[in-house]
Chains A and B, each alone.
Chain A
Amino acid sequence: NAGVTQTPKFRILKIGQSMTLQCTQDMNHNYMYWYRQDPGMGLKLIYYSVGAGITDKGEVPNGYNVSRSTTEDFPLRLELAAPSQTSVYFCASSPGFEQFFGPGTRLTVL
Chain B
Amino acid sequence: DQQVKQNSPSLSVQEGRISILNCDYTNSMFDYFLWYKKYPAEGPTFLISISSIKDKNEDGRFTVFLNKSAKHLSLHIVPSQPGDSAVYFCAAGQGGSNYKLTFGKGTLLTVNP
Residues of A within 8 A of B (CB): 4, 31, 33, 35, 40-45, 48, 50, 56, 58, 90, 92, 94, 96-104
Contact = CB atoms under 8 A, between A and B. Distances in A.
A96 B98 CA distance: 8
B98 A101 contact: no
19 contacts: A4-B43, A31-B99, A40-B105, A42-B106, A43-B89, A48-B98, A50-B98, A58-B100, A90-B44, A92-B43, A94-B99, A96-B99, A97-B93, A98-B46, A101-B44, A102-B43, A103-B42, A103-B43, A104-B41
Interface of B: 4, 9, 32, 34, 36, 41-46, 49, 89, 93, 98-101, 103-106
B69 to A, nearest CB: 22
B88 to A, nearest CB: 11
A42 B4 contact: yes
Nearest to B98: A50
Contacts of A101: 36, 43-45
Interface centre among B32, B43, B49, B105 (most CB of A within 10 A): B43
Contacts of B104: 42
B99 A43 contact: no
A58 B100 CA distance: 9
Nearest to A50: B98
Contacts of B36: 101
A58 B104 CA distance: 16
B102 to A, nearest CB: 8
Contacts of A40: 9, 105
Contacts of A96: 99
A82 B5 CA distance: 29
A18 to B, nearest CB: 24
A104 B49 CA distance: 23
Nearest to A59: B102
B42 A104 contact: yes
Contacts of A94: 99
